[in-house]
Structure 1
Amino acid sequence: MSYSKRLALLILIDSMIVSFSVFMSHFFLNPYVQVFDTAMLVASLTLLLSHHLFSHYLGLYKKVWRYASLEELRGILLVITLSIIITAGVQGIFFGQVYERALIVTWMMHIILIGGVRFAWRYYNTYEFTLFNLKQKSQEVAQQDKKRTLIIGAGAAGQMLAKQMCGKNQTDSKVVGFIDDNFTLHKLSVVNLPIMGSVKDLPEVVAHHQINHIVIAMPSVGRTRVKEIITEASKVVKNVQTLPMIEDIALGKISVSQIRDVEIQDLLGREPVELDIDSISSEIEGQTIMVTGAGGSIGSEICRQLVKFAPERLIMLGHGENSIYTIHMELRTYNIKTELIPAIADVQDRDRIFQVMQEFQPTYVYHAAAHKHVPLMEANPKEAVKNNVFGTKNVAEAADAASVKTFVLVSTDKAVNPTNVMGSTKRIAEMVIQQLAQTSRTKYVAVRFGNVLGSRGSVIPLFKKQIENGGPVTVTHPEMTRYFMTIPEASRLVLQAGTLARGGEIFVLDMGEPVKIVDLAKNLIHLSGFTENEIPIHFTGIRPGEKMYEELLNENEVHPKPVFPKIFIGNTVENDYSKVRILLDTHAELTEHQLSDYVLSLANDKESELFSLVK
């Protein structure tokens, strides 16, 4: 039903109730006296108008009555009481007396009927009550074949969810009861369902009640605790689901359709980074923005985040036409005013990059185009140098020539004390923009990411595919750790770095504690409904160029205080850029092995035997 029709229906029902209440109160008190006198008609009209006025002002007609609670009842009491007071005032002014008994009876009938209609509607929507309760009984019989569901969290969210799952024949689950860590609730019941204990009692509760489905309904609980609960629940039941976080739940409405499978990012165990939306909006709104590598995992998400801030134009530059086509078509479906401009170009093509930059004159450039796969770049160092170093140099110098305000380089934690070609080339790319920052009016900054969950080439898609194929899941080493973040977090950090930039900085995100890759694999196996006996883990050994653990800042770069909550800035480190120039001038003459040796030495600020030869 549309809002206008719903409003009209409520006004009609309330008008009938108000008129009926006034009539019946006069009739009960004076059954042999003429009811339709002037006083009664004036009282009816006053009560009617004041009721509608206060209902509108206090939002009574906008309430979602299927979720009505004591708050809505309080609103009804307030509206009716104020209406009666106004009516009493009118009677006193125009007729010289107040019909107290009639108004009291009217007040009571008004509350009973108005409240009764609202809460009857709620009851009907919740339980679909029918004559003799036959429908509910038939549902109870049907529930015998349903999944036996346990809800963790007996708060408002859990109760709303239980009511829907019990009262509607729209799920394949039968709610057995609740688990809640509030010990004062234990052995009590809510919505006619028992609270069976706390999370530590899960194994006994699941075994005793034959639970095969758990829903975590704790949207306001911190992610660290949610991670712990998911881990415990996954040990005893394969099918674990959760409700969205509290910020995703609008107007306090919980719906069965909002239940989702637990995702791997739920196990990061930290709160997502909050951003200064106002500062980002003031910088981006109405500007021309360019994103390189716009078809990639990070680049495409940066585009999705950017359009929320209403830039005038967004240039999506990339080498792969299919990926640029995909993000362009996706953004076209959004209701935005931003002009979307796909640009097919290779960052290694210097002339083309300068031409695009001069044509569109962007205010911000987010450089996400890069080769990032460690083993592949280890085997192809020349391609890594051409794309990650020369590509960055081309885009950065084109930005300088076009007087771009801010240039943000997407870097990696592998650029810190790098042991591989990919990390080394990204560190050299940082050195290139730090050198430009010393002379250019453009502000150049870099943002270092950890591993991004779900991005192309990351471990999660690989693990999922291996699980789908029946295993084994391959992990390089049982002690290998990595920092992890989500794709939206990574993209937001890029935008925030642009607003914080002064020139030459390296920004990093506080990503909590590093996670063991083997633990990530185990969690994903369990979330997929398997055990490690069914999907074994196979250790393959550390690959060439891989570290056992990653760092976010070199010890010389560490700046102890965050510049923004959970965002740190590295101190600018002096580098001998003459060695970078030697690499730029001689890379074509070097063999793959020589080039690999040189970039590693250069990125780690160490002398290379090759340096003396090419100097």
Structure 2
Amino acid sequence: MLERWIDDAGQEDSAMMHPVVSKTRRPNWSRAIAKLLVDLAMLNLATVLAVFARLDFGAAPWSLVYILRFPGLMENLVFVAASVLLQTPLALWSYASLRDMERVAIVVAVTKVLTLQLLIAVSGEVQWSRGAFAASAVLAFLFMAGVRAVARWRYEHTARQERVDVPVQKTPSGARVLIVGAGDAGDKVLREFEGHPELGRVVGLIDDDVAKRGCTIRGVRVLGSVATIADAARRTGATQAIIAIPSHAASVTRAVLPNLADTDVQVRTLPGMWELVNGSIHVDDLRRIRLEDLLTRTPVSTDLGPVRAYVEGKRILVTGAGGSIGSEIVRQVVELNPSQVIMLGRGENRIFRIDREMQQLENVTCAVPVIGDMRDEARMAWLFDTYRPDIIFHAAAHKHVPLMEKNPEEAILNNVGGTRTLLRLAASHRAERFVNISTDKAVNPVNFMGASKRVVELVVQVNDGRERLRATSVRFGNVLGSKGSVTEVFQKQLQESRTLRVTDPDMERFFMLIPEAVQLVLQAGALAQGRDIFVLRMGEPIRILDLARSYIKLAGLEVGRDASIVISGNRGNEKMTEELWSGTEHVVPTSNESIMRVECPAIPELAVLRQAVDALLNATRSHDVNAMRAALHTIDPSINIP
């Protein structure tokens, strides 16, 4: 009978997966009663053996009689009551854990202690020694725990055997896996690989904790630290590395990737710990690494309290609101309780998407979509007359360098002309703040897009202080995940041809994530002191070639076997390395450690700059590229376009 119920306990979850079979099985309460009877049998067997031993193994009948007399019956009743209260008969033995063993220990302890006290209270003595009680308690726990351990072993053994017997699943991947993280999550992954051998074999653990070095978990040894993972991979022949430290996955991944850069090891990571409910994570659920895993630093996250102080209750205009940066500004600003957010954009489809997103948010009724071109002075005048914005976040611009080299007039007319129109209207309508989104390409520019953004920075600076307007610019580098960004291009190339195109092996860029860039833009708006430019700390620049290699590896492919990288050559007036400030600019820290302030050299007067910009726009409308180059150099000698 005991073996039969152990088999039943090992098949409990099968009934859940096969409802047709479960209809023929007994109800759960009958199974619980059977488990309680098994536990009672173990309890009484332990008592018989303990009493038998107390009588020096010479009075066997007395040990059997004991459990049928008052003390034994009392002990059984107490045990049943404790078991029901702690619900031990309801536990699935096929999933017996340390928590279940704790409950068993509590039930046994409560039973023995209460029974002992009751016997002393009723008869004033205990028929057998207290030593026998203690021995029976230990034996009872060992027997009951042993039954559960056997049930779990039988279940796991049967499950493994069934998987081996199914031809479809008997297709081992051959993967040899290193698990980074010898903690709870790493243990869960190990269990999954044990239960699913077709997914591969774990050949080692990696952990920076010195105390774990050389130890084993479920028979798998901790080989070393993250710094030695490449050596561990070569020694074990590993083909996959799984990051099993969900709480610090991004930082660990950034440490692992460089060490595995010259190997063929694929890198994957787990979902967050909240997804590891009751240890139910499956190895098949491992997700691909996110964009933040490509950064060589920890993403910035700041307190938006200072931003709320100047945004709350204000009317906010966001230009380019349908773009990657503009739409994220909208998302973050609406959380700060503005009275109104005007979402301006020229592209109907993009504004439609961000407007629909805002409509689907609860308690967001302040967002207003406006379709319009910032170069259209009449339309912009209507917008300012109608909504009278207090704060303008200016994210509208043409930004693609090679495209603007072929269309330089559009870069100047849109970026310079459109911004000047907005600034004039912001000042005349007594707006409070104007925050311009600039770029590192505005520093010592060598192309028309960068030059246009440099002129915009100057126009913003000279307009600072007009009426009551506080105008400033914020510079940052490339944004991962934005429309047309390198990662979007890589994804498309990988899907279509498995060939990534890199312009030059030595070209490098600064990178940020969209949310962190926008957070710092909003913060910079609170720091403006007058005629300043803010620069966001972006860490060290990343070589595009290294980014391509990491992208291929994180996609689960190998460079040279599954995907290739080709050098396509400079696309036209692209710098090898970008700068965040020029040699004539002095950078000082601010109260926000992630933002630096550029103390700019002397800038021209408003009237002088206005004449120079008029000359630039006239040359642009005449499609005279040489005159455009000359006008740009006149405005700022640092602009030198070949």
Normalising by structure 1, report the TM-score. Answer: 0.74
Match of 1:589 in 2: 618
Is 2:243–2:270's contact at 8 Å kept on the other side of the alignment?
yes
Q: Note if contact 1:314-1:338 (Cα within 8 Å) is conserved in structure 2.
A: no
Q: Deviations over 1:237-257 (max 9, x none)?
A: 363312357899899996646
- Say which is worse superposed, 200-209 or 454-463, in terms of deviation: 200-209
Secondary structure (helix, strand or coil) at the match of 1:422 reads helix
Residue number in structure 2 paired with 1:262: 289
1:560 counterpart = 2:588? yes
Match for residue 179 of structure 1 among 186, 189, 205: 205
Q: Computing the radius of gyration over CA atoms, which structure comes out larger, 1 or 2?
A: 2
CA distance in 2: counterparts of 1:461 and 1:356, whole angstroms: 34
CA distance in 1 between counterparts of 2:530 and 2:508 reads 32
Q: Which residue of 1 aligns with 2:355?
A: 328
Conserved? CA contact 1:214–1:237, under 8 Å: no
User: For residues 116 and 477 of structure 1, do their structure 2 counterparts lie closer, same or farther at Cα, with a shift above 3 Å needed?
Assistant: same
Secondary structure of the 2:260 match is helix
Q: Over residues 18-59 of structure 1, what are the superposed CA-to-partner deviations in whole Å (9 max), with x where a residue is unaligned?
A: xx99xx99xx8986449999xx9999999999x89xxxxxxx
The answer to whether 1:602 aligns with 2:635 is: yes
**What amino acid is aligned across from residue 162 of structure 1 in structure 2?**
L
The alpha-carbon distance between structure 1 residues 179 and 193, as it changes in their structure 2 partners (threshold 3 A), is: closer
Q: Distance in 2 between matches of 1:468 and 1:394?
A: 42
1:217-232 paired onto structure 2 within 5 Å = 217-220=244-247, 226-232=253-259
Q: Look up the match of 1:413.
A: 440
Tell me the distance in 2 between the aligned counterparts of 1:118 and 1:360.
71
Deviation string 1:149-197 (CA, Å, 9 cap, x unpaired) is 413324222222222343369xx62232323155664554213434455
1:135 to partner: Cα distance? 4.0
Q: 218-227 or 429-438, which moves further after superposition?
A: 218-227
Q: Distance in 1 between matches of 2:94 and 2:309?
A: 40
What corresponds to 2:266 in structure 1?
A: 239
The answer to whether the 8 Å contact 2:96/2:149 transfers is yes
Counting aligned pairs with the same residue, the percent is 32
The one-letter code of the counterpart of 2:615 is T
Q: Number of paired residues?
A: 581
Q: 1:459 maps to what in 2?
A: 486
Q: Secondary structure at 2:262's aligned position in 1?
A: helix
Shift in Å, 1:448: 0.7
Q: Is this contact kept in 2: 1:473–1:537, CA < 8 A? A: yes
Is 1:551 the counterpart of 2:579 in the alignment? yes
Aligned counterparts of 1:388 and 1:216: Cα–Cα separation in 2? 44
- Which structure 2 residues correspond to residues 248-397 of structure 1 after superposition, within 5 A? 256=283, 259-263=286-290, 265-281=292-308, 283-284=310-311, 287-309=314-336, 311=338, 313-397=340-424
Distance 1:211 1:309, change over 3 A: same
Structure 2 alignment gaps of length 5 or more: 1-27, 48-65, 88-92
Contact 1:505/1:570 (<8 A) preserved: yes
**Structure 1 stretches of 5 or more lacking a match?**
1-8, 53-64, 609-615
Aligned counterpart, 2:540: 513
Deviation of the 1:399 alpha carbon:
3.3
Mapped partners of 2:145, 2:341: distance in 1: 53
Q: 1:352 to 1:481 in 2, by over 3 A?
A: same
Match of 1:55 in 2: none
Alignment of 1:473-512 (within 5 A): 473-512=500-539
Following TM superposition, by how much is the alpha carbon of 1:494 offset from its aligned partner in structure 2, in angstroms? 1.8
The CA distance in 1 between the partners of 2:637 and 2:108, in whole Å, is 77
- The CA deviation string for residues 53-98 of structure 1, in whole angstroms up to 9 with x for no partner, is xxxxxxxxxxxx999987x6899799999999x999x99xx99x99
- Asked if the contact 1:288/1:361 (under 8 Å) is kept, the reply is yes
Distance in 2, matches of 1:113 and 1:277, equals 59
Following TM superposition, by how much is the alpha carbon of 1:271 offset from its aligned partner in structure 2, in angstroms? 0.8
- Please say which of residues 183-192 and 380-389 is displaced more in the overlay: 183-192
Distance 1:114 1:272 in 2: 51
Hey, what's the Cα distance between the residues in 2 that align with 1:117 and 1:285? 64
Question: What displacement does 1:426 show?
Answer: 1.4
Deviation sequence 1:391-421 (CA, Å, 0-9, x none): 2222333334444443221110111222222
* 1-structure distance, mates of 2:278, 2:527: 34
Aligned to 2:52: none
CA deviation string 1:273-331 (max 9, x = no partner): 12114334555556543321111122123233334445554332110001111222344
Q: Is the partner of 1:289 in helix, strand or coil?
A: strand
What amino acid is the match of 2:482? S
Alpha-carbon distance in 2 for matches of 1:442, 1:66: 71
Is the 2:108–2:141 contact (alpha carbons within 8 Å) kept by the matching residues of 1?
no
Residues of 2 paired with 1:344 and 1:332: CA distance? 17
Whole-angstrom CA distance in 2 between matches of 1:364 and 1:180 = 51
Correspondence for 2:608 among 574, 579, 600: 579
Residue pair 1:389, 1:425 contacting (<8 A) in 2 also: yes
Deviations 1:119-170 (CA, angstroms, capped at 9, x unpaired): 999x79xx9647697446658994552342413324222222222343369x
Are the structure 2 counterparts of residues 240 and 223 from structure 1 closer, same or farther at C-alpha, using a change threshold of 3 Å? Answer: closer
Change beyond 3 A, Cα 1:69–1:573 = farther
Contact kept? 1:234, 1:240, Cα under 8 Å? no
**1:159 aligned partner:** 187
Q: CA deviation at 1:570?
A: 1.5
Give the residue type in structure 1 aligned to 2:194: C
Letter in 2 for 1:537: V
Partner of 2:242: 215
Matched with 2:19 is: none
Letter matched to residue 618 of structure 2? E
* Partner AA of 1:329 in structure 2: R
With over 3 angstroms needed to count, the CA separation of the structure-2 counterparts of 1:597 and 1:299, relative to structure 1, is same
